[in-house]
Amino acid sequence: MARQIQKEIQRGVESWISLGNRRPHLSIILVGDNPASHTYVRKKIQAASAVGICSEIILKPKDVSQEELLYITDQLNMDPRVTGILVQLPLPGHVDERTVCNGISPEKDVDGFHIINIGRLCLDQHSLIPATASAVWEIIKRTGIKTFGKNVVVAGRSKNVGMPIAMLLHTDGEHERPGGSEIIWYLSFSAWLISLSIIPSSSIHVVANGDATVTIAHRYTPREQLKIHTQLADIIIVAAGIPKLITSDMVKEGAAVIDVGINYVHDPVTGKTKLVGDVDFEAVRKAASFITPVPGGVGPVTVAMLLKNTLLAARKVID
Ligand code: GUN
């Protein structure tokens, strides 16, 4: 799926350039020497290059000041050559991440972390959507997993991952529609046709419309309560950062399980560190109708969705 999306973006980039436009250019600000951050940034740069997007890394030491970071974002905001900007997180403790994310112009904010993009997402307005949330949405939609009226558990309430995923899945995408009885009638009728699978959900102009009943669980949800919720869920999305948080006894037969977890654990067999998600994959796959692995599941699709945001930002199609 990630490869398919990348091919679509590559075609999009080529057709954008063939119309006489500049090649999209992504600037990534990377602070310090966190090995995971360096790995993620390398993957983003490689993927960008594969679809024809130019990119650059602006590398700063871990003692860089917040003022300098804001100066850099200001320069990039004003640079017409730069169409997309992201600051790799986490930032060192002396820097306020919210202030830095808000320092990026919302039109170039390919991570969708600017307060304007988050606000617009929450109000069903067009926005640059955080790539992990888009990836989960895309996996669900492209796989044909139904969300309308279904029970969804999102385990994890982070503002960049759990919250936007829950936003996309619970909404009808219509709250900010223009007034007028005709449009209201049209949207209600269309929603009814979608619910009966007579027309695809992509055929009407909505931002996102999961229309699911979404439960958000978090670190203070008692485990036995979490199990009660997950056993009722048609879709379980886990972004908690806890290995084996979801075990097979917590999953309803035929449920879809999407694992957003990234955990580095010691592997007693090899003696090395290995990457695992939040789901007990081998046990849960027996109950689930659909499950994403870690690595090789949500991660590559997230990178592809970041590139999609980079193309959207270059085309300035988010009004
Ligand atoms: N660190 C972990 N995930 C992300 C992400 O999606 N964007 C940025 N900027 N930093 C991250």
pLDDT tens string 3-54? 999 999 999 999 999 999 999 999 999 999 999 999 999 999 999 999 999 9
For the chain, the 3-state helix, strand and coil shares in percent, each to the nearest 5, are: 45, 15, 40
Res 180 pLDDT > 80:
no
pLDDT average, residue stretch 74-101: 98
Pairing mode, if any, of strands 235-238 and 263-266? unpaired
- Using one digit for the tens of pLDDT, what is the confidence trace for 166-175? 999 999 998 7
Mean pLDDT throughout 273-292?
A: 97
Give the ligand 1 atom nearest the CA of 302.
6
> Which of the pair, 318 or 65, is modelled with greater confidence?
65
- Which residue, 141, 110, 117, is CA-closest to 5? 141
Q: Which of 225, 227, 276 is nearest to 251 (CA)?
A: 227
Distance 73 CA to ligand 1 centre (A): 16
pLDDT digits (tens, 9 = 90+) for 253-279: 999 999 999 999 999 999 999 999 999
User: Whose alpha carbon is nearest atom 1 of ligand 1?
Assistant: 89
127-156 pLDDT tens trace: 999 999 999 999 999 999 999 999 999 999
Q: Is 13 in the pocket of ligand 1 (CB under 6 A)?
A: no
Residue 206 has pLDDT above 70, yes or no: no
Ligand 1 centroid–CA 174 distance in Å is 29
**How many percent of the chain have pLDDT more than 70?**
89
Ligand 1 centroid distance, CA of 59 (Å)? 15
Q: Are 29 and 86 in contact (CB under 8 A)?
A: yes
Q: What span, in angstroms and rounded, lies between the C-alpha atoms of 6 and 303?
A: 9
In this prediction, residue 190 carries a pLDDT of 58
Taking the CA of residue 114 as centre, how many other CA atoms within 13 Å lie in the half-sphere pointing to its CB?
18
Question: Which residues are the active-site residues?
Answer: 44, 88, 111
Q: How far is the CA of 288 from the centre of ligand 1 (A)?
A: 29
pLDDT higher than 70, residue 194: no
Could you tell me which residues are beta bridge partners of residue 258? 237
CB of 226 sitting under 6 A from ligand 1: no
Place 202 in a pLDDT band, splitting at 50, 70 and 90: very low
Cα–Cα distance, 48 to 125 (Å, whole number): 27
Which residue has the least CA distance to atom 8 on ligand 1?
88
**pLDDT classification of 292: cutoffs 50, 70, 90:** very high
Distance from the alpha carbon of residue 257 to the mean position of ligand 1, in angstroms: 22
Q: Which of 18-22, 185-189, 226-230, 313-317 bottoms out in mean pLDDT, i.e. has the lowest?
A: 185-189
Are 61 and 30 a contacting pair, CB within 8 Å?
Answer: no
- Burial class (CB within 10 angstroms; exposed 0-12, middle 13-18, buried 19+) of 45: middle
Query: pLDDT band at 317, cuts 50/70/90?
Result: confident
Rounded distance between C-alpha atoms, residue 28 and residue 230, angstroms: 37
Residue 200 scores a pLDDT above 60? no
Question: 105 exposed, middle or buried (CB, 10 Å; 0-12, 13-18, 19+)?
Answer: middle
Probe target for ligand 1 pocket from 42, 109, 160, with the most ligand atoms within 8 Å of CB:
160
Q: Which of 187-196, 198-207, 294-303 has the highest mean pLDDT?
A: 294-303
88 CB under 6 A from ligand 1?
yes
Of all protein residues, whose CA lies closest to atom 2 belonging to ligand 1? 89
* Any atom of ligand 1 within 6 Å of the Cβ of 110: no
Ligand 1 touching residue 47 (CB < 6 A): no
Q: Is 131 in the pocket of ligand 1 (CB under 6 A)?
A: yes
**Best probe residue, ligand 1, of 89, 113, 306 (max atoms within 8 Å of C-beta):** 89
Whether residue 303 contacts residue 2, with contact meaning beta carbons closer than 8 Å, is answered with yes
Other CB atoms within 10 A of residue 221 CB? 18
Question: What are phi and psi for residue 126, nearest 5 degrees?
Answer: -60, 135
What pTM was computed for the model?
0.91
**pLDDT band, residue 107 (cuts 50/70/90):** very high
Query: Would you say the CB of residue 86 lies under 6 angstroms from ligand 1?
Result: yes
Angstrom distance (rounded) from CA 176 to CA 264: 41
CA of 166 to the centre of ligand 1 (A): 18
